[in-house]
């Protein structure tokens, strides 16, 4: 798979409001400066830590990254 993290996480949009992955995906979609083409953990992690909406927690990012990473293998 040669898909960006952004495109991978979009599949979680529209889920239950209580689902943290769905909330992350919605916030990511609405954050217009999110690095949509990025595939690097370090670059994405830095963005999450410094610029992301508070509902885009690093813990959920890490969970989503693991799923994304496994899907790329």
DSSP the chain: ----HHHHHGGGTTS-TT-HHHHHHHHHHH-TTS-TT---HHHHHHHHHHTS-TTS-HHHHHHHHHHHHHHH-
Query: What is the value of pTM for the model shown?
Result: 0.92
Tens digits of residue pLDDT in 29-48: 999 999 999 999 999 999 99
Question: Residue 46 sits in which domain range?
Answer: 5-72
Confidence of residue 55 (pLDDT cuts 50, 70, 90): confident
Q: Looking at residue 45, which CATH number applies to its domain?
A: 1.10.150.260
The total domain count for the chain is 1
């Amino acid at each position: 798979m040669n898909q960006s993290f952004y495109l991978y996480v979009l599949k979680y949009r529209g889920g239950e409001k209580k689902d943290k992955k769905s909330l992350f995906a919605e916030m990511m979609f609405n954050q217009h400066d999110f690095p949509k083409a990025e595939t690097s953990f370090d670059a994405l992690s830095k963005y999450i830590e410094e610029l992301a909406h508070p509902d885009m927690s690093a813990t959920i990012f890490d969970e989503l990254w693991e799923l994304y990473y496994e899907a790329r293998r």
